[in-house]
Amino acid sequence: MSELLTHPKVMKKLQNEVREIVGNKADVTEDDLVGMHYLRAVIKETLRLHPPVPLLLPRMATQDVNVNGYSVKANTQVLVNAWQIGRDPKSYSKPEKYEPERFLNSEIDFKGTEFELIPFGAGRRGCPGIPFGMVVTEIALASIVHNFTWSLPGDEKLEDLDMTESTYWCSRT
Ligand code: HEM
């Protein structure tokens, strides 16, 4: 919602898609989601820039191993920086820009087979909850934009809105 609020054109485009498909029905259903390609692109773009588990779950090498030329000693803890991977200019043009359109005609998915986008991790310990997590997120977001238009209160300006991410702990120090 932070990205949609600061990108009103994306919000409008998403709202148009959802409202066109859901029409006058009160609720968004799972069947409606099938045709919502822009909704999926919006969620992918959000998971690219803001993966909820930015360093995935820690791994530990059980033996000395060489990964792509990097030698990792046994018992070393390894963290995979999914946050940085999603912002790699080798994979994405203007990576800092919030632009769901980049996923509209793209084969890149988040199931763990394309390593440019791994908000759910990859491999045999990747997230088993992808289908459930996605349906819940899609229904929730589609329902919100179906029923509401979000805007800033009063005469507040987008430029003045600070949505910088931080942990609660960081913001207190
Ligand atoms: C948007 C929602 C979700 C995100 C972004 C997410 C993300 C992740 C990530 C990054 C991992 C670690 C993968 C790795 O290190 O390779 C993980 C593991 C896991 N997730 Fe999710 N998850 C989500 C929803 C769910 C849901 C809905 C469930 C269950 C219903 C679930 C169950 C699990 C379990 C059990 C693991 C551990 C798998 C293992 O260690 O073998 N997740 N998830």
Q: Is the CB of 52 under 6 A from ligand 1?
A: yes
In the block, residue with structure tokens 């045709």: 35
Average pLDDT for the chain: 93
> What domains, with CATH codes, occur in the chain?
2-52+81-171 (1.10.630.10)
Closest-CA residue, ligand 1 atom 30, reads 129
Give the contacts of 165 (CB within 8 A, at least 6 positions apart).
50
Pairing of strands 65-67, 59-60: unpaired
C-alpha angle 163-150-132 in degrees, rounded to nearest 5? 80
> What is the 83 CA–ligand 1 centroid distance (Å)?
15
> What is the 40 CA–ligand 1 centroid distance (Å)?
18
pLDDT tens, 52-107? 999 999 999 999 999 999 999 999 999 999 999 999 999 999 999 999 999 998 98
Check whether 171 has a pLDDT greater than 70: no
Q: Is the CB of 141 under 6 A from ligand 1?
A: no
- Provide the residue count of the chain: 173
